[in-house]
Amino acid sequence: MAAEIAPRRATLSDVAQEAGVSMSTASVVFSGKTKVSDATRDRVLAAASALGYTGPDPMAASLRRGRSGIVAVVLEGQLREAFLDPVTIPMMDGLADGVASLGAGILLLRDDPTEDGASALTTAPVDAAVLIGCSTRTRSSLDVLRSRGLPVVVIEGDAGEGVPRISLDNREAAAEIARHVQRLGHTDVVAVTLATDSRRERGGISPDRLARATVDVTVDRLGGVHDVYPDAPAISAATSSIDEGLIAGRALLADPESRPTAVLAQSDLLAVGVIRAAEEQGLRVPQDLSVAGFDGVRVDGIGDHVLTTMVQPAVEKGRAAGEQVARMLRGERAASLHFTCRFRAGSTTGAPPD
Amino acid sequence: MAAEIAPRRATLSDVAQEAGVSMSTASVVFSGKTKVSDATRDRVLAAASALGYTGPDPMAASLRRGRSGIVAVVLEGQLREAFLDPVTIPMMDGLADGVASLGAGILLLRDDPTEDGASALTTAPVDAAVLIGCSTRTRSSLDVLRSRGLPVVVIEGDAGEGVPRISLDNREAAAEIARHVQRLGHTDVVAVTLATDSRRERGGISPDRLARATVDVTVDRLGGVHDVYPDAPAISAATSSIDEGLIAGRALLADPESRPTAVLAQSDLLAVGVIRAAEEQGLRVPQDLSVAGFDGVRVDGIGDHVLTTMVQPAVEKGRAAGEQVARMLRGERAASLHFTCRFRAGSTTGAPPD
DNA sequence: CGAGTGTATCGAATCGATTCGATGCCCGGA
DNA sequence: TCCGGGCATCGAATCGATTCGATACACTCG
């Protein structure tokens, strides 16, 4: 095999020369911004393929236009962790749709703990960013991005003033499902919550701890429960997963004396775990214990049950975020959008045991 | 609030001027490529923060250096679909690690069906690409990327010559787990496979259909089974999911007469579905039916069972892909890497019923 | 025949940084 | 006092394309 001397890739200028036209003309042949006679276009295209030119260099084009066609999605920690939440994926799909009008792709950025100041956030060629979830660090990421002058949209997070956010009626939705359980006659209700802060500690949530909680979703959903059951105790899981729900469920159901008659979980995954814990204890759902979830994602693993839950419009949230980003890039004013969950009656809640 | 006249963002040149140094000096203050006296550095940094300069423009830097610091991951179809396979996420995590040395991020690119020629593949400012899975279309994506002169690595796919691939010992691994079942004494074995082609048709796999199959993973894993059980029938699922496994399981177990004593599923998700189907029929696993999976991902939903399966090193595969990409970008020669699955004995396989 | 209209193509400035060979300066040694 | 050697800084070319006002040409209409 002959050692090829890397022959500098052809540039637009080479193509133009080969075709006997100016660079400007060659450029528009590829971008289509202006009319070009068929004869000229063919000549340019022919020259291009003769030289193995595959189109304008994206980096050069980006520089000139001031757009890279990339939207960053900032996730915390490991990808695995972020995708553990099943709503993330549909949301990203919606987002991909939403930014499709920009011809943009989605850049996954881990909000790195490396505090060398120069995270990827500073150096990534992106047009805008979408922050998912909220945390203390998210806040500083946001500052970095804004100081770069990039449009930012926050999904389910505490954006500062002026940052459009895509939000959910967490509190109202939680209250709605709590009222559902209340109507069924339950008085002994416990909430199983998501993490309250980045320490992700398991266990009972004291008023003290609640006051220190930093995860809005958790606080809001719990607030909704408290709107209906002001004294409902709450126990926190470390993450949103079936296993964590199982752990929380075991803790709640261990003692037959103090056992609640209904559990309001802050995610479907947690709810499934609680149901599994109930099965372990020989409790029937919903006869002996009612369990409700939150999210409305497709969950496997509860047999013929349909989980009673609040369905959140995940794809729509993502799409909305994408659309707002697109607006901002067009120079229009973006708005914060508030989405509403829909109650889905399932077979996992019923009247309390007498 | 005063209407601000968007004040052109400060550039390196502005900062240099303000600090009274040359652009070159200002540049190295940010890139750190050269020694700069402390006094000068401080002056430049001060000027920068005075002007609100947050660092070199990524697009301009990309153009100049010829690197964007972005690696594309090409997925087929909807994100949802790609992430349905639970091994995808750990793999991407590994990939993120693997390319971290480049300071690179991961760009999710949907291999769009839009045949306008100018897919995002052509216009995205990426340094390299990783293709996941394989399909007819993957092949054409590959051509696009290679003609752009980008390094490409393929995971689990049919790369052309000269394209490094990250592969798995699918056939051997499938044979290994088949032998495990054989040693237990089973003679009546059926395989539940992944999709055979992009049409994703459910149902029995005839020799004819097998010959037309285009998904290598499916063909290889089935080949492994046939190495041990040359006559084992196979039934294909549409996708890798618990539900699909359930459907396939129902079809297989409906008739007590023709029911197999062991099912070899090509993914853990499918296996869980088959187990659920068995439970529906009142069959005990593994006493009445042995079920084995493939992948070794964490699956919830099978109670206290531990799935007998072949564990594939997903994170390592991703990381390896990232490392090969990094090598190619450094101008080194990249190698194809072959990974091996590890047998994990679980509680879902046992001796056949007598 | 000249003015007017429209269309296809061209020129040249510009996007913002990186890089490396060249330059100037300071200091020690003879 | 003169020279060589470091070290910090500077100049200028360069990366590759986009864009828009200007130009040139052909043609129609009065």
Q: Which helix (H) or strand (E) holds B130?
A: strand B128-132
The pLDDT of residue A303: 65
Interval A90-112 mean pLDDT = 86
Over 80: is that where the pLDDT of A203 sits?
Answer: yes
* Distance between the alpha carbon (CA) of B103 and the C1' atom of D10, Å: 30
pLDDT band of residue A9 (cuts 50, 70, 90) is: confident
Q: What is the C-alpha separation between A12 and A60, in angstroms, rounded?
A: 11
> Would you say the C-beta of B45 is within 7 Å of strand D?
no
Which comes out higher in pLDDT, residue B116 or B294?
Answer: B294
B140–chain A Cβ distance below 8 A for any pair: no
Interval A130-144 mean pLDDT = 76
pLDDT digits (tens, 9 = 90+) for A40-60: 999 999 999 999 999 999 999
Over 70: is that where the pLDDT of B78 sits?
Answer: yes
Q: Do B93 and A78 touch (CB under 8 A)?
A: yes
Over 70: is that where the pLDDT of A134 sits?
Answer: no
- Of A108-117, B78-87, B332-341, the poorest mean pLDDT is in A108-117
The pLDDT of residue A6: 57
- Local structure of residue B334 (DSSP, 8 states): P
Q: Which amino acid is located at A352 in the chain?
A: P
Q: What is the C-alpha separation between B78 and A318, in angstroms, rounded?
A: 14
> Would you say the C-beta of B23 is within 7 Å of strand D?
yes
Contacts of A28 (CB under 8 A, 6+ apart): A34, A36
Over 90: is that where the pLDDT of A19 sits?
Answer: yes
> Would you say the C-beta of B105 is within 7 Å of strand D?
no
The pLDDT of residue A241: 85
Nearest residue of B to residue A60 by CA position?
B63
Contacts of B265 (CB under 8 A, 6+ apart): B191, B192, B245, B271, B273, B274, B291, B292, B293, B294
- DSSP string for residues in A79-109: HHHHTTSTTHHHHHHHHHHHTGGGT-EEEEE
Q: What is the C-alpha separation between B92 and B317, in angstroms, rounded?
A: 9
The answer for B 248-307 residues in CB contact with A (under 8 A) is 272, 276, 300-301, 303
The pLDDT of residue B100: 84
**% of chain A exceeding 70 in pLDDT:** 94
Contacts of B342 (CB under 8 A, 6+ apart): B296, B310, B311, B313
pLDDT digits (tens, 9 = 90+) for B1-38: 444 445 678 999 999 999 999 999 999 999 988 999 99
Which residues in chain B have Cβ-Cβ distances shorter than 8 Å to A243? 300
Burial of A172 (0-12, 13-18, 19+ CB in 10 A): middle
pLDDT band of residue B158 (cuts 50, 70, 90) is: confident
Query: 């500052």: which residue's tokens?
Result: A143
Q: Please give the structure tokens belonging to residue B45.
A: 């940094």
Nearest residue of B to residue A109 by CA position?
B105
The pLDDT of residue B136: 60
Q: What is the C-alpha separation between A90 and B204, in angstroms, rounded?
A: 31
Torsion over CA of B259, B192, B77 and B111, rounded to 10 degrees? Answer: -160
Query: 């009445």: which residue's tokens?
Result: B288
Other CB atoms within 10 Å distance of the CB of residue A141: 21
The pLDDT of residue B118: 54
State the Cα angle at A191 between A352 and A76, rounded to 5°. 145
Cβ distance A104 to A69 under 8 Å?
Answer: yes
**% of chain B exceeding 90 in pLDDT:** 68
pLDDT digits (tens, 9 = 90+) for B199-252: 899 999 999 999 999 888 999 999 999 999 999 999 999 988 888 999 999 999
Q: Do A122 and B55 touch (CB under 8 A)?
A: yes
Over 90: is that where the pLDDT of B119 sits?
Answer: no
Facing residues of B111 across strands? B76
Which comes out higher in pLDDT, residue A326 or B115?
Answer: A326
Could you tell me the pTM of the whole model?
Answer: 0.87
The pLDDT of residue A116: 52
* Distance between the alpha carbon (CA) of A19 and the C1' atom of D28, Å: 32
- Torsion A202-A205-A209-A214 (CA) sign: positive
pLDDT digits (tens, 9 = 90+) for B178-193: 999 999 999 999 999 9
pLDDT band of residue B113 (cuts 50, 70, 90) is: low
The pLDDT of residue A143: 83
* Distance between the alpha carbon (CA) of B267 and the C1' atom of C24, Å: 70
pLDDT band of residue B198 (cuts 50, 70, 90) is: confident
Contacts of B5 (CB under 8 A, 6+ apart): none
- Of A212-221, A263-272, B138-147, the poorest mean pLDDT is in B138-147
* Least Cα separation, residue B124 to chain A (angstroms): 6
The pLDDT of residue B353: 93
Interval A62-78 mean pLDDT = 90
Question: Half-sphere exposure of A151 toward its Cβ, with a 13 Å CA cutoff?
Answer: 23
Burial of B199 (0-12, 13-18, 19+ CB in 10 A): exposed
**% of chain B exceeding 70 in pLDDT:** 94
State whether residue A115 is helix, strand or coil: coil
Cβ distance B137 to B102 under 8 Å?
Answer: no
- Of A147-161, B8-22, B111-125, the poorest mean pLDDT is in B111-125
Facing residues of A291 across strands? A263
The pLDDT of residue A320: 96
Q: Do B62 and A59 touch (CB under 8 A)?
A: yes
Interval B100-110 mean pLDDT = 84
- Of the ranges A97-111, B136-150, B321-335, which is most confident? B321-335
Over 50: is that where the pLDDT of A86 sits?
Answer: yes
Q: Do A108 and B105 touch (CB under 8 A)?
A: yes
Q: What is the C-alpha separation between B109 and A78, in angstroms, rounded?
A: 20
The pLDDT of residue A75: 84
B108–chain A Cβ distance below 8 A for any pair: yes
The protein footprint on chain C, as nucleotides within 7 A of a CB, is: 7-21
Facing residues of A81 across strands? none
- Of the ranges A98-112, A272-286, B95-109, which is most confident? A272-286
Cross-chain CB nearest to A106 (options B9, B107, B123)? B107
> Would you say the C-beta of A9 is within 7 Å of strand D?
yes
A and B: number of Cβ contacts within 8 A: 140
The pLDDT of residue A2: 41
- Of the ranges A158-162, A240-244, B11-15, B146-150, which is most confident? B11-15
Nearest residue of A to residue B73 by CA position?
A107
The pLDDT of residue B346: 95
Q: Which helix (H) or strand (E) holds B264?
A: strand B262-265
The pLDDT of residue A4: 46
Which residues in chain A have Cβ-Cβ distances shorter than 8 Å to B68? 58-59, 125
Q: Do A79 and B59 touch (CB under 8 A)?
A: no
